Structure 1
Amino acid sequence: MCTCSAAALSPGPRAKPRPISFLPTNSTMLDLQHYFIKEHVGLFKLHEAYDIIDPETQELIGVAIEQASGFRKLLKLVVNKTLLPFEVVLQTPNEQPILRIKRGFTFLRSKVSVLSADGQELGFFRQRLLSLGGRFDLHDANGEKFAELKGKWHGLNFRFFDLNDKELGQVTRKWSGVGKELFTSADNYVVALEDGTDRRTIGPLLLAAALCVDMVLKENK
């Protein structure tokens, strides 16, 4: 007969998310709580580009630029771009690379890798199959899930949760805080970290997730 106690058989609390830090130690680009993302728009735009702005000072603090070959630009004219591979480099205004966001060809589910500036995989996002609205699981470099991104992709309103269902931040177009006057286009949005969220480990993932969702789930522009 088993004499194990009920306490011993209980699953216990879920593990805390594993921190991931991949910023250069001398970089202050991603030390903020809020980030305003402004997409470069154009009728015949064949590659993606985004300005990253401090909403409080309205200062440009970074740029995210798609590295698109001529062949890929041609493919975007005839193939749904949400199915195509992409690579985006996040860099400072003086062109110092901070991280890379990369995906290969996809069909049913997207896997988007987050890489260091020198190409080392630091983690990845994987889209849930048949999820309503849009949902991504976030994994570390060992493939272990440590967080989720949930929300409605068509409005680009997502929330970021750890494995204990604690909200870490959000990606939203419905912003009423500092910098709301910057919203002059439907292609702009804010990445906002909750109080207490680690800005050096979680903040970069939120930015990468925002760009990932924008490029993976959004319909052709």
Structure 2
Amino acid sequence: MHPLLQNNQFLVREHVGLFKAASNFDILDPRTGATVLHCREPELGFFTKLLRFTDYKRMTPFDVRLTTPEGQPVLRVKRGVSLLRSTVDVLDERDQVVGHFRQRLLSIGGKFDVLSPSGQELCTLQGKWTSWEFRFLRGERELALVSKQWAGLGKELFTSADNYMLSIQPDVPANDPTRLLIVAAVLCIDMVLKE
């Protein structure tokens, strides 16, 4: 696991674009404002680009790669075509599967099961229907919180770009592979539930 993922707070900023098909984000250290990770969707097919401008956008496949600003791979989040519910794969810097997200049907506010590579449930990612907040829960214990940050009137009214704050609890061990899944989940929330 890359040492950057041992931080407990991240600000995820989606790129603003008038007609954008690809999903691009920067992940910043909220204390310094420095960009620590780039999230890009480099290999977007022609038909996928076309469908991203329609009502079928939520069904399109994606393959988002997280790299350091120098280009070193850190994490990858990908999904095939989705009809009813999404299953998203999370891969580490060596393209080894570290886990999956499986969307629950008919959940109010959005809910995902966070699964190990073998399919065992590690925790749950659950949204609130009354606000834009998602919690990682292992039983009753909260591992992390994702909340939407106000981006300003102009950006909120005229674009679909969002900012998210990710806060991981300090008692989650620095080398726990669940951290990879927690960081990947912010992109999954935006691309599966909020687009």
TM range, smaller chain: 0.7 to 0.9
Match of 2:117 among 141, 145, 163: 141
| Deviation at residue 28 of structure 1 after TM alignment | 2.3
Aligned to 2:137: 161
Map Cα deviations across residues 93-139 of structure 1 (whole Å, 9 max, x no partner).
11111111010111111100001233321110000111111000011
- Identity score, percent: 41
| Deviation at residue 91 of structure 1 after TM alignment | 0.7
Inter-partner Cα distance in structure 2 for 1:119 and 1:154: 37
Aligned to 2:127: 151
- Give structure 1 regions of 4+ aligned residues with deviation exceeding 3 angstroms: 152-156, 183-186
Unpaired runs of at least 5, structure 2: 157-161
Count of aligned positions = 186
Aligned to 1:6: none
| Deviation at residue 38 of structure 1 after TM alignment | 0.5
Say if 2:149 and 2:163, in contact at 8 Å, map to a contact too: no
**Structure 1 residues 85, 134: CA separation in 2 closer, same or farther (over 3 Å shift)?**
same
One-letter code aligned to 2:9: H
Aligned to 2:74: 98
Say if 1:154 and 1:218, in contact at 8 Å, map to a contact too: no
**Structure 1 residues 93, 151: CA separation in 2 closer, same or farther (over 3 Å shift)?**
same
Say if 2:108 and 2:129, in contact at 8 Å, map to a contact too: no
Within a 5 Å distance, the mapping from 1:63-142 to structure 2 comes to 63-67=38-42, 68-142=44-118
Match of 2:172 among 197, 201, 207: 197
- RMSD between aligned residues: 1.9
| Deviation at residue 153 of structure 1 after TM alignment | 7.0
**Structure 1 residues 51, 174: CA separation in 2 closer, same or farther (over 3 Å shift)?**
closer
**Structure 1 residues 153, 199: CA separation in 2 closer, same or farther (over 3 Å shift)?**
farther
User: In the alignment, does 2:33 pair up with 1:58?
Assistant: yes
Map Cα deviations across residues 25-81 of structure 1 (whole Å, 9 max, x no partner).
xx3221211000000011101100000000001111001111312332122234521
Aligned to 1:14: none
Say if 1:156 and 1:214, in contact at 8 Å, map to a contact too: no
Match of 1:41 among 9, 12, 16: 16
Q: TM-score, normalised by structure 1?
A: 0.78
Say if 2:99 and 2:181, in contact at 8 Å, map to a contact too: no
Q: Which entry has the higher C-alpha Rg, 1 or 2?
A: 1
**Structure 1 residues 200, 69: CA separation in 2 closer, same or farther (over 3 Å shift)?**
farther
2:89 aligned counterpart, secondary structure? strand
| Deviation at residue 204 of structure 1 after TM alignment | 2.3
